[in-house]
Amino acid sequence: MHYAQITERLAQTGGAKWAVHQRCREMKAKGADIVELTIGEPDQPPDPSLIAACHQSMLAGRTGYSSGRGEPELLEAIAARYARRRPGVTSANVLCFPGTQTALFATMMGLTGEGDGVLVGDPFYATYEGVIVAGGAHRESVQLRPENGFRLTAADLEAAVTPQSRVLLLNSPHNPTGAVLEADELARICAVCKAHDLWIVADEVYEELVFDGAFASLFDDPDLAERVIAVSSISKSHAAPGFRSGWAVGPEEFCTRLLPLSETMLFGNQPFIADMTAFALKSDLPTAARMRADYKRRSQLFADSLEALSGVVAYRPQAGMFLIADISGTGLDGDTFAWRLLDAGVAVMPGSSFGANAGGLIRLSLTVPDEAVEQACERIAAFVEAL
């Protein structure tokens, strides 16, 4: 039977990257004692007020069809959030989606096609490969160097640009490295994008999880209003990944052109989730502040322990919910290390899930209690010392 080309393009971009995580869950279901440090699922629940808002909305009958662009109250709440960063943003600049992942997919489908290049820092988040190649585009890697703190540099970006380049997919704060770009670095990156007439898609899902200092974004520059699209969600900021509520904010023409694609895919998200999200964005909740403190403290616990191990180099994150470590000095690559460590009672993500440039790395999630962090550190130390 015949299948569309998109199935071939996506054949190697799916769940295989999470094989260690899936095996971990299977083992735990059978009673295995494993510290799970694989995916970025917050270890605290959403604020009770969000659950109450969602519940009240359902009781009020908000369970019908939704607007394809997004529910009016949520559109206004998102627009107000971004207008505080860049005056002039309105509901016409917003499209709502079920999570950042869907927003990224739709955005890339709307901006790129067969033969186009998408520049992205390497290492990169595991699903970026899929959203780039789905529509026929290809990934153009920009090496993120340890000596630069894994921050994208304008010089490396310039060297990676080709005649096919159409988009820079910019992730700051960055997953998996936790690197955060500062305003001066972004200004130099912006100059490269202008020189080559590149779209900038800014994945800012970890915006509220910067440990120290201010968050900077190219979206906030009025001169880039027709070039930058910001995507985000409440998954990380409000510890609500299962509600699948995200958005894309960009030029009005972009939103107008993308709306038919969004409607074809989804025709809106659930009104009761939209109401909950609007409430979340309008409220001053303590969730993000608690997570920032937790993740910073746990990253220090992990880094202090890992740095004492022979052959291991830990990179302290500036934001987010992950820490990466270079374990190539142990004589193992990331995949072998992760699979063997799983048998020792700790599940981590192998670096290869985040691109070829991360083959010697592992990623550890910070979303477990401190006691579990300490237990994982003990098990990792014993594992490394036994190599």
User: What residue ranges do the domains of the chain occupy?
Assistant: 5-45+287-385, 48-282
Tokens of 29: 């279901």
DSSP track, 329-344: GGT--HHHHHHHHHHT
Q: Mean pLDDT, to the nearest integer, of 265-270?
A: 86
pLDDT band at 169 (very low <50, low <70, confident <90, very high): very high
- C-alpha distances in Å from residue 104, one per residue of 134, 171, 262: 11, 12, 11
Residue 267, pLDDT > 90, answer: no
Task: Output the pLDDT for position 217.
Answer: 97
- Out of 4-18, 59-73, 364-378, least confident range: 4-18
CATH of 48-282 among 1.10.300.10, 2.60.290.11, 3.40.640.10, 3.90.650.10:
3.40.640.10
Residues 194-244 have pLDDT tens digits of 999 999 999 999 999 999 999 999 999 999 999 999 999 999 999 999 999
Residue 339, φ and ψ in degrees, nearest 5: -70, -40
CB atoms closer than 10 angstroms to residue 213 = 10
Q: Mean pLDDT, to the nearest integer, of 292-307?
A: 98
Judge whether 357 and 123 are in contact, CB under 8 Å.
Answer: yes
Task: Output the pLDDT for position 261.
Answer: 94
Task: Output the pLDDT for position 356.
Answer: 85
Residue 229, φ and ψ in degrees, nearest 5: -125, 125
Tokens of 309: 């191990």
Task: Output the pLDDT for position 10.
Answer: 84
Q: Mean pLDDT, to the nearest integer, of 48-59?
A: 98
Judge whether 124 and 17 are in contact, CB under 8 Å.
Answer: no
- Out of 264-278, 295-309, 322-336, least confident range: 264-278
pLDDT band at 287 (very low <50, low <70, confident <90, very high): very high
Percent of the chain with pLDDT over 70: 99
**Beta strands 165-171 and 199-203, pairing class:** parallel
Q: Which SS3 state, helix, strand or coil, does residue 35 take?
A: strand
CA distance 204 to 230: 7
Q: Mean pLDDT, to the nearest integer, of 366-383?
A: 97
CA distance 98 to 92: 18
C-alpha 231 chain-centroid distance: 10
pLDDT band at 18 (very low <50, low <70, confident <90, very high): confident
Residue 272, pLDDT > 80, answer: yes
Note the pTM of the prediction, 2 decimals: 0.95
CA distance 329 to 312: 6
Q: Which SS3 state, helix, strand or coil, does residue 387 take?
A: coil
Residues 69-122 have pLDDT tens digits of 999 999 999 999 999 999 999 999 999 999 999 999 999 999 999 999 999 999
Residue 16, pLDDT > 90, answer: no
Q: To which residue do tokens 């769940």 refer?
A: 15
Task: Output the pLDDT for position 311.
Answer: 97
Residue 15, pLDDT > 80, answer: no
Cis previous bond, 176, omega within 30: yes
The mean pLDDT of the chain is 96
Judge whether 185 and 151 are in contact, CB under 8 Å.
Answer: yes
CA distance 175 to 126: 9
Which residues partner with 169 through β-bridges? 120, 201
For residues 203 and 4, the model is more confident at: 203
Residue 173, pLDDT > 90, answer: yes
Architecture of domain 5-45+287-385: Alpha-Beta Complex (3.90)
pLDDT band at 11 (very low <50, low <70, confident <90, very high): confident
Task: Output the pLDDT for position 17.
Answer: 83
Intra-chain end-to-end CA distance of the chain, in Å: 49
CA distance 237 to 221: 23
Which one, of 164, 241, 229, lies nearest residue 201 by Cα? 229
Q: Is 331 left (phi over 0), alpha (psi -120 to 50) or beta?
A: left
Q: Which SS3 state, helix, strand or coil, does residue 276 take?
A: helix
Which one, of 221, 224, 226, 229, lies nearest residue 246 by Cα? 229
